[in-house]
Structure 1
């Protein structure tokens, strides 16, 4: 999940233009976009059960070669299916039952034809052999691909980040978030004088010809393919354990040997408090079978499942900056906390379409506020999330267009978090709010979801009418404007919104130094206010993410 400074976010937003309406600015989408983002019968005809990715990484030539085995269950009768691999990578052959299958390619889509009908409910498998030079990332993790760097001693320091761009940038796979493989064996062969870390647990290290060693990592839980990763370098490794809700949770730390002395105390300060906070708010860590790893990476960070990528230079905040400008964010490491928060939202609960990525980023950004609350108090947590509003541009909706592999506005981070914080105010019961967060992770445990499923779950469990609220914040650019006027001790007020019939309650000052709940609609309403309240000192509770405006 791509980490963005909100200062950078604001600049990025400018590129979207100002003419966006409900679905954002008009943008043409290509056949390649649809092949990548659309769930067609050639993709839904099979459900991925298991992958064995077995590759050799040639660091000097920046190349990859090897194979991936697809084990699947047919969801309908078919003779043809689609998998994905970037055009610049060569497919040597596709093997099924010892024979080569015919295939065709169109952009990044590969179409394989079987010699007979694969019957619904049957389990089968095929293997793709390939090689080539994967795209090299220009600005990881935002611009994805392979990352080739060196440590201070000149040793290789290599990894990959591919969220959004897609795992098919470096290995053949069914490249759609909706279908997570149930388990996976990741075999990475590298020069024997280097260390390699991947997702899951290490099963074995096997010597290979020509000075290579194969590192075999098994992932026992479902995993989305953009999370599948490797880290190559000269690593120091140490372990710890956390006594969590589901028992002892293994913790593995992997830092470059040259950085291990400063990594140990720095990571120790945040990891166990983070796990304690997030298990309290979200429920048990979702990957006890695979453990928790924090791995130094040659890029800023990514939520690689059970092997979280860390590149924040062992600084507090976001590379030493507080995203909220409150000071609270300088008391913990942004990447450690944020990327680990994704273990619950993004990795455990994953959206089917990247257009709904606000579910990943909004809840995980709010996890920063919850961690701040857990460690510094509720007021600090509120101040933190309110402070993040400085990075919101409100120029395009935070839900993107569906079926073309395109995410919405980067506002999904701070705006999504502030939508959740606003809903928390409406629920007005922190135990119920916490139960909803935990309930999302339990109900959709190891599943892929739509935004509608998340919206409906929150509405049902809270007992609130939230559909118009979700519509306004997620599908339109503007946030609600509370328009008001005060005359003769009477407050007149209404909502100005894109959504018709918007009726979200909000707390305002009907008397000095106190907030009271009112229930505006799009029509003018009136209520008496204390004599001390006038148009200049009237205000709304800042915990509600809205604008207020004096009526003309």
Structure 2
């Protein structure tokens, strides 16, 4: 790819052209070897004006905001032959304000059979994917209410992995699964389909043909033979859970189990793949060791940890992580970062399980802040590498992300609209966090320990909470006693990465320096000089001068530690 012409003081970098899959599923696809591309790629076209369906699903409107979810019981029957689902969701909620209407969501392709409060059938209005439920009397603030939402129909496969898909395993037996983060939980079950409000607990009951097993979130409670060729599988989720994390995995699974430091671990694979699963899934213990070391204990201990084989790449379904990496290291048999580190471990086990901490325990309030899930989870992949292989290999692993950054649109997008942020939320976001570590590292003994203490406290402060970008930034500002807002804003809310401009004057033995950045007040400290003899300067957006005996060719910037561009003139 050609590099566009640049001015004398413009900045550029060597980046690779890379493409993620559609964001229905989390892991990025493998990419070809790096090619040369400009740092400031062609800007993305302006986003299309949101349609009514996107606003109804994305906005936290008045009929969502007037109530607080407490509990779901999703009780359904799945018919592999008819490719249908039918049943009800019992929804318990507390009113936060007086009102007589609430919003629950269900795709227009599924039928609302009836909605009951006790024996009273409630009226409702459907508008795109929203179902507005009207009550005959005013529901009072502070009071708790329960409704039963009955529905049925044939889910329409949508998105890269279908939302809810009826497939066959290699033997021809049914293999039914859900993966619906972007398309929304309402593509297959009625729920308050947003991120901000989670139920405090949930029961999941799934009736399937008795030759099959359903694996869902939470702890297995038991199974009941219904006497008609179907068996109901019951699961209990004892933690808050986001609606898109709720999952059905239905197949003729083989099951094995283990424990690790008191945590129950359960694994489900097709019988033909059982031996491969027993070998590959052993890596889950090393994943737990690494993430618990840096962040704290596995966040859903009462519900246990599960890996469940699926026919797609993977997804972070809470306490029932979906796995489809073909029982091999790397990502789909590829060294997807092209630096020789990823073939040492199974990317899906590490990345998708990492979401148990960032994404499931800590959840963004709005899809626009999805970097809170993806950037932090991508970053802690490098901590897995650091824990098992050492910091130099972790730094090498981090460099593999640079080739995947596009810089076409901001990471934090418009809130209140159903829309997935750009892929830069993964790699650019993670590189921003690695830059933050270098910024806070004063290169004195104990710097790593101080960073890890901050990271641990950050996670512990927000675990089991739904948060915004502003809360993340405010926490780091308070704990570091620095104004990091311009740094976060530059990487999250603008397109280009910052450029350190260096203008050398051999006659005076000086170098003038400043940041070229879109965010006013950007002042990232950075190490310059020569490796092993760095000095920290704090450029601003005004020229400053530094005395140096180094020539332009000798003068270096620690670009392996900071995600920045450099221009020397």
- Residue 448 of structure 1 aligns to a residue whose secondary structure is strand
Residue 92 of structure 2 corresponds to residue 74 of structure 1: no
Q: Kindly provide the CA deviation profile for residues 172-213 of structure 1, in whole angstroms up to 9, marking residues without a partner as x.
A: 000110001110000011100011100001112112253111
Choose from 453, 460, 464 the match for 1:446.
464
1:27-46 to 2 correspondence within 5 Å? 27-46=48-67
Kindly indicate whether the alpha-carbon contact (under 8 Å) linking 1:540 and 1:548 is maintained by their aligned counterparts in 2: no
2:114 equivalent in structure 1: 93
Cα separation, 2, equivalents of 1:31 and 1:262: 47
Q: Determine the C-alpha separation between the residues in 2 that align with 1:523 and 1:469.
A: 16
Cα deviation for residue 9 of structure 1 reads: 13
Distance of 2:158 and 2:277 partners within structure 1: 26
The equivalences for 1:507-522 within 5 A come to: 507-509=527-529, 511=530, 513-522=532-541
Residue 367 of structure 2 contacts residue 418 of structure 2 at CA under 8 Å; is this kept in 1? yes
User: 1:453-532 counterparts in 2 under 5 A?
Assistant: 453-488=471-506, 489-509=509-529, 511=530, 513-531=532-550
Q: Deviations over 1:451-479 (max 9, x none)?
A: 11111112211222210001100000000
SS at match of 1:502: coil
The Cα shift of 1:321 comes to 1.6
Which residue of 262, 272, 275 corresponds with 1:261? Answer: 275
Q: Distance in 1 between matches of 2:291 and 2:71?
A: 29
2: CA distance, partners of 1:9 / 1:35: 41
Instruction: Compute the displacement of 1:262 (Å).
Output: 1.0
Which deviates more, 427-436 or 446-455? Answer: 427-436
Residues in 2 aligned to 1:318 and 1:536: alpha-carbon distance in whole angstroms = 39
- Structure 2 unpaired stretches of 5+: 1-24, 442-446
Which residue of structure 2 aligns with residue 350 of structure 1? 363
Alignment TM-score, normalising by the size of structure 2: 0.91
Partners in 2 of 1:323 and 1:392 — Cα distance? 14
**TM-score, reference length from structure 1:** 0.94
Q: Report the counterpart of residue 410 of structure 2 in structure 1.
A: 397
Q: Describe the superposition over 1:427-485 as per-residue Cα deviations: whole angstroms up to 9, x where unpaired.
A: 11222222222222221221111111111112211222210001100000000001112
CA RMSD, aligned part only? 2.0
SS of the residue corresponding to residue 289 of structure 1 reads helix
Task: Give the equivalent residue in structure 2 for 1:231.
Answer: 249
Contact 1:6–1:392 (8 Å) recurs in 2: no
Which residue pairs with 2:31 in the alignment? 7
Equivalenced residues, count: 536
The equivalent residue for 2:354 is 341
Over 3 Å counting, the alpha-carbon distance change for 1:9 and 1:446 in structure 2 is: farther
Kindly report which structure 2 residues correspond to 1:52-451, keeping only aligned pairs within 5 A, or say none: 52-137=73-158, 139-140=160-161, 144-243=162-261, 248-268=262-282, 270-428=283-441, 429-451=447-469
- Please give the alpha-carbon distance, in whole angstroms, between the structure 1 residues aligned to 2:32 and 2:247: 26
Task: Report how far residue 518 of structure 1 moved.
Answer: 0.8
CA distance in 1, matches of 2:148, 2:48: 37
Q: How far off its partner does 1:407 sit?
A: 2.5
In structure 2, how many angstroms separate the alpha carbons of the residues matched to 1:398 and 1:172? 30
For 1:493 and 1:540, locate their aligned partners in 2 and report how far apart those are by CA, in whole Å. 15
Please identify runs of 4+ aligned residues in structure 1 that moved more than 4 A.
8-11
- Shift of residue 487 of structure 1? 2.1
CA distance in 2, matches of 1:10, 1:542: 17
**Cα offset, 1:139, TM superposition:** 2.2
Shift of residue 8 of structure 1? 8.7
Q: Is the 8 A contact 2:330 2:343 kept in 1?
A: yes
> What is the Cα deviation at residue 138 of structure 1?
5.1
What is the CA-CA distance between 1:146 and the residue it aligns to?
A: 1.4
